Structure 1
Amino acid sequence: MSPFTGVFTEEHEALVAEVRDEWAESALSTRPADRSAAERAVREAYTAMRLEPPRSVVWADSPAGCLRACLGDGPDRPGPTDAFSPELALRLGRELRRRYESNPWRELEDRLVSRLHDALGPELWDELRSRIGSRIREPLWNRFGVRLRGHVLSRLSDQLPSLLGGHLGGVQDVWRDAYRMALYTCALRTAGMRDERLEAFAEVTRHLGWWIPSRDGVIVSERPEVLLRDELERLHCASGPALSWPDGFALHAWHGTPVPGWVVVDPTPEAIGAEGDPEIRRCAIESFGWERYIAEVGLPLVAEIEDPRVPGSKLALYDLPEHVFDEPLRVLVTTDAQARNVYLLL
């Protein structure tokens, strides 16, 4: 491949597409980890960094399990779905900060940036980083690092409301790291270079879900066993968790919106009325079914006419009380032989 000199060639485009697709496949994997291969990859990554291999590799079954494992095996350690007490959250925060300071990825990333900067020069490196980044940011960073990882962080914030203020910088996972692994892999290869340390860390990332490296020991987790999305690639499942791990840690989502489990599993008009968040109420009504909700709640019919655009179709307009979405709206239901559609009108 011709080295990058300011012109992004078809060869460069093909490389970025290939590496991007490889990391997208890894980010969506729900295969159980090959634990022997994963532990071997962890130790080889440390060796590549000229570090002593970690004294221990501790396995957890989920991201929440990774955080619990940082606290050791004490009797007060929370279970898979338990909230952390303020005291344990403080302990965990201190432990994660300590591990962050000894995370070898920080050193490696600094070295990679310095190497590319020196080899290409500041202007050409900035240009190359921008060219690659623009091609992988949406399919890797936004798709996984922001959306999927963001859902997990939202779920963890239920258990650790005092923790998620920046203390997770030392926690590695394929959803966050797919972008960075692809960026540096493409940059090095486009510049005619390679780095065995990056290749070793990439191998670890391919094997695991979340992992927390440090000099004295590494905590690693399984991938999710369920990862379901809708046609727009938003996290979604209409019958159960959209994301779940072997230890029971799970997330429910409705077309990209994180929701409590009842929204998907057992929505009722009573539960919908008691819900304080209008966005969750909307998702719950969609899960329950608009026509069913209209019938059971008894929304007042404003008008019903034949649809002049579609013979045999009807248009029915209902008033939606202000308390449902915190503002007065109307619901338009269109009905024909093939489908029923619902529209919310201001």
Structure 2
Amino acid sequence: MVDFPSKSPHGLWREAVKIRQEWLEHGLSTQPADRRTTEHCLTAIYARMSRPRPRFAWVDSPEQAISLAGGLPTLDQLYAWTRDPRPRGTPPLASDLAMVSSQLRGALSAGVAHLDPELSPARKGKHNESWPQLPPLKAFEAGVPVGVVLHQGIRTALHRSLAHGFRVPVRSTLAGSGPVPACWYGQQDAAWVAYYDALHRLGLAHYGPDELDHLGHWAALARSCGWWWPGEDVCVVVERPEMVHTEPVPGTWHEEVRLQRGGVRYRDGWHPLMA
């Protein structure tokens, strides 16, 4: 564990806003994918699961990926491996990947100087109620701990922008023709990556060399590519979109955004939110 730095909560928050904006820009980037970095990082993540380097199949949109990802497990099928009785046979690679990712987050949380709201919901008072969600300056005035404000203002805010505001509506369109195999979201996985990166850069967390290396691979993916479907032999990876237009989410104070109607177009012309 590390001590809190000498900077005031307001000073920490000002730096945190800059880091959040940096990661939001990665999450919404329309630059061509960095294929070399993506393949290097995915190969390293496969190696953590004792898997060899896969063959990489690059496509221009999630719609194109579906035909190549056939046979990969859906989320419901993955959840079956967390319940008893478990399915027979060997767990799919995606199940191992989910476990590896979860273990990383647990290890990163253990390096946070304060009780990490990511894994332990922050509570207050004798009635153990949740801390209120307030604009940052009002939150500090109300005595909300800096760690809670940072979690709300980085992790939760980016998740709302990149998950609820982007990947959920796009995935819902994709699922119109049937269940979508489980995938990871590359640049739109930036919320949790940004949170742990920010805590480290702000001096509120200390991670070991292995955790830093592993986090670095996920961070590089969030800066380098779109969605990806991991299979045993083939990993299907999507280029970043060609066009992204967002709008502010009304009533929020963490600069949260969402896709405009028709606000995303992929490099093959797929325009999922036109309706």
Q: What TM-score does the superposition give when structure 2 sets the normalisation length?
A: 0.67
Shift of residue 131, structure 1, vs aligned partner: 3.2
1:38–1:208 Cα contact (<8 Å) kept: yes
Shift of residue 223, structure 1, vs aligned partner: 0.9
In the TM superposition, 1:277-288 aligns within 5 A as none
In the TM superposition, 1:91-240 aligns within 5 A as 91-93=71-73, 97=78, 98-103=92-97, 106-117=99-110, 120=113, 122=115, 126=120, 130-137=148-155, 139-160=157-178, 163=179, 168=182, 170-175=183-188, 177-189=189-201, 190-193=204-207, 195-214=212-231, 216-230=233-247, 233-236=257-260
1:146-205 Cα offsets, whole Å, 9 max, x none, are 021121022112122xx15xx53x433322x11111122223442233611101111012
Shift of residue 25, structure 1, vs aligned partner: 0.6
Please name the residue that 1:250 is paired with: 271
2:51 counterpart of 1:30: no
SS in 1 for 2:228: strand
1:54–1:215 Cα contact (<8 Å) kept: no
Cα distance in 2 between the residues matched to 1:6 and 1:159: 54
SS in 2 for 1:203: helix
Could you list the runs of 5+ residues in structure 1 that have no partner in the other structure?
Answer: 72-90, 254-258, 260-346
Identify the range of structure 1 (187-196 vs 206-215) with the bigger mean alpha-carbon deviation.
Answer: 187-196
- Call closer, same or farther: CA 1:207–1:6 in 2, change over 3 Å: same
1:61–1:247 Cα contact (<8 Å) kept: yes
For these two proteins, the number of residue pairs brought into alignment is 223
SS in 1 for 2:260: coil
1:27–1:174 Cα contact (<8 Å) kept: yes
- Call closer, same or farther: CA 1:130–1:119 in 2, change over 3 Å: closer
1:294-343 Cα offsets, whole Å, 9 max, x none, are xxxxxxxxxxxxxxxxxxxxxxxxxxxxxxxxxxxxxxxxxxxxxxxxxx
2:49–2:96 Cα contact (<8 Å) kept: no
2:31–2:242 Cα contact (<8 Å) kept: yes
Shift of residue 5, structure 1, vs aligned partner: 8.0
Cα distance in 2 between the residues matched to 1:226 and 1:134: 28
1:235-294 Cα offsets, whole Å, 9 max, x none, are 336xxx4212123321235xxxxx2xxxxxxxxxxxxxxxxxxxxxxxxxxxxxxxxxxx
- Call closer, same or farther: CA 1:121–1:216 in 2, change over 3 Å: farther
Shift of residue 221, structure 1, vs aligned partner: 0.6
Cα distance in 2 between the residues matched to 1:118 and 1:43: 26
Cα distance in 2 between the residues matched to 1:204 and 1:123: 24
SS in 2 for 1:229: strand
SS in 1 for 2:269: coil
- Call closer, same or farther: CA 1:6–1:156 in 2, change over 3 Å: farther
Shift of residue 115, structure 1, vs aligned partner: 4.8
1:140–1:179 Cα contact (<8 Å) kept: yes
SS in 2 for 1:145: helix
1:181–1:202 Cα contact (<8 Å) kept: yes
CA RMSD across the alignment: 3.4
SS in 1 for 2:18: helix
1:120-161 Cα offsets, whole Å, 9 max, x none, are 47578845763322112454111121021121022112122x
Cα distance in 1 between the residues matched to 2:104 and 2:258: 35
1:33-58 Cα offsets, whole Å, 9 max, x none, are 132332233224445x4744423111
Q: Percent identity?
A: 22
Kindly provide the amino acid, as one letter, of the partner of residue 61 in structure 1: D
Please name the residue that 2:134 is paired with: none
- Call closer, same or farther: CA 1:229–1:4 in 2, change over 3 Å: same
SS in 1 for 2:13: helix
Cα distance in 1 between the residues matched to 2:194 and 2:37: 21
